[in-house]
Amino acid sequence: WEEQDVDLVKNIVVKVNNESYTLEPTETSFVFETTDPNTKFNVGVTVNKKGFGFANKSKKTITTSSDNATLYQEVSDLVINNTEVSFTHHIQKDSEGTLDLSSLSYDVMTQYNEILSTIVPTDVEETNDLVSIKVTVPLQLIQDQYAILFGINYEKNGVSYKNAVKDFDITTSDSSSYAASPFEVVFQNQMLVLLNLNTEYYLYESHNFYAESLHVTVDTEEEIETYQLILNDEVKYDLPYLTEGNNGIILKDLAEGHYLIQYDGKPIYTTDTIYDVWYTIYREGVAKQITIETYMGMLSVEVKDVTQTPDDVYDILIDPGHGGLDGGTEKDGVTEAEEVLKVATYIASRLEEHGLKVKLTRDDEFDPSGEGNFDYTLSPYKEEGRVEQVYRYSANYMISNHLNAFDGSLSGFEVYSSIMSTNDWASSIANEFEAIGHEARDSIKNEYRVSTGSYKSYTQCVAGEYLPNGCSSPYIDYLYIIRETGGQFSQSTSLVKYNENYEQIPNHGAETVLVEYVYLDNATDNAAWIQNWQAYGEAIVKATVAYLDIPYQK
């Protein structure tokens, strides 16, 4: 309907059977989605005027068809030349009712669903079982757009319908006629889409989720400087693109919406059918469901706020190091595996109190992959092993807990983070340790030191069987629990070596920190641990929620 005068109209009320929906006077349409076949819906629209004006009312009964109005469609004779785009659209008749040919029209739409033009066809042929419509669009109308989608409007049995123009056989009759044109023809989910090649764009190659960030690789060796997220032709986010794992396209702060992704103001084209879902962590009871997918031949991301994530998805894994046959270091009856299980359990409980969905990689003295399965090389990658769990449970973050040992001469804490991410989380933990009087190891031993108490241990990356495309970075993390939990982004390799259920490294991974609380073989550190282990655990909690932008609760 036409937009109403806000000075005269109070609101518009749409009633579908017994449900009422109140709209603003400026709204001009209402959509009610249903998949119920052969069902009657009594629809009423009331325009309530201000003051003592009478209301305008309209009623109609709509009955859905048995096949939910799906048209069997084909596209043929698609030709693009210097002046126009033309194709023949075939619609299969059905037994559900009469298609009103006089109601046919076609919308020419942009990637933002903006209708550029509505075309009424004049060349329509009809047989007993098929309607063939010749559609012609002036090239000048679409030549400045990134992508074009075609929609068909029609009436059947007195009910109006809209559908995208599709080819259920995903075929075109003469590909050579438009192969050299400025457009590439794409059938995305069977929908006919034209991609404009006569503009600047990137081609999609791959994507990775790392913690709460998205990284998209495109066909350029040049450094990407910025990324844009476009919603309905409006740039909602225009931010620097930083390459660290916990930067990239930052997902946790995105508002709900379906965004097209751009790098440096250029769209990212893809002819692949991409569909991948990821979740951010819970904040105040709400997580974000992130869906990266192909939309009209371009890369897009849809963001939805959800109050429940799948049962097998966790925000953070807390890993008590060692376990089972591997007790870790031991001194004066204090065993690392037992002690870190104690502090890990405390940390997990406290993080749950902050609203996070938390899982321990083990909750007893057994190795995570099962009693008797311990093998220092293989165990982490077996089913339910501490590395495998990161991928099984789609974790965003991981804290690996350890107690150190050397020769009794060293003391203090060490916090390790990935060379693929910033040092923010590790330095936050170090700062909280220092705030409670716990000293770092720095003054005695300084290799790989980034800041007080925080380190990045690394080694040279060597391409080989499990990195067939070479190294994306000249160095990789030395500590396996950090390297192997970061997915493809951190150049992990071992999961496919030791677990036959994985044919390739997943394209998602966790940001992991490893904490060495004390040197257990140092008498002073040993005594400090026994007295202060819970305070150390609380420091981890306080630093972690601060890093995750979650208010700290004592």
What is 115-145 written as a DSSP string? Answer: EEEEE---EEEE-SSEEEEEEEEEHHHHTT-
pLDDT at 393 over 50: yes
Question: What Rg do the C-alpha atoms of the chain give, in angstroms?
Answer: 30
Query: In the predicted model, is pLDDT for residue 303 greater than 90?
Result: yes
Burial (CB count within 10 angstroms: exposed 0-12, middle 13-18, buried 19+), residue 136? middle
For range 322-351, the mean pLDDT: 93
Average of per-residue pLDDT values in the chain: 89
Chain-centroid distance of CA 383 in Å reads 25
Assign a CATH topology to domain 316-547: Aminopeptidase (3.40.630)
Domain locations in the chain?
9-63, 73-196, 202-306, 316-547
The two beta strands, 234-240 and 249-250, are unpaired
pLDDT at 145: 92
Residues 6+ apart with CB under 8 A from 446: none
Would 73-196 and 316-547 be classified into the same CATH topology? no
Q: Are 247 and 422 in contact (CB under 8 A)?
A: yes
How far is it, in rounded angstroms, from Cα 274 to Cα 267? 15
The first and second tokens of residue 338, run together, are 């037992």
CB-count burial class (<10 Å; 0-12, 13-18, 19+) for 153: middle
- Per-residue pLDDT band for 445 (boundaries 50, 70, 90) equals low
Among 205, 216, 29, residue whose Cα is nearest residue 115: 29
For 468-512, write each residue's pLDDT tens digit: 667 888 899 999 999 999 999 999 989 998 888 998 999 999 999
Task: Quote the pLDDT of residue 470.
Answer: 76
Record: fold of 73-196: Immunoglobulin-like (2.60.40)
Question: Rounded to whole angstroms, what are the CA distances from 251 to 234, 288, 314, 396?
Answer: 18, 8, 16, 12
N-to-C CA span, the chain: 56
Q: What pTM did the predictor assign?
A: 0.84
pLDDT in tens, 116-157: 999 999 999 998 889 999 999 999 999 899 999 999 998 877
**Model pLDDT, residue 99:** 78
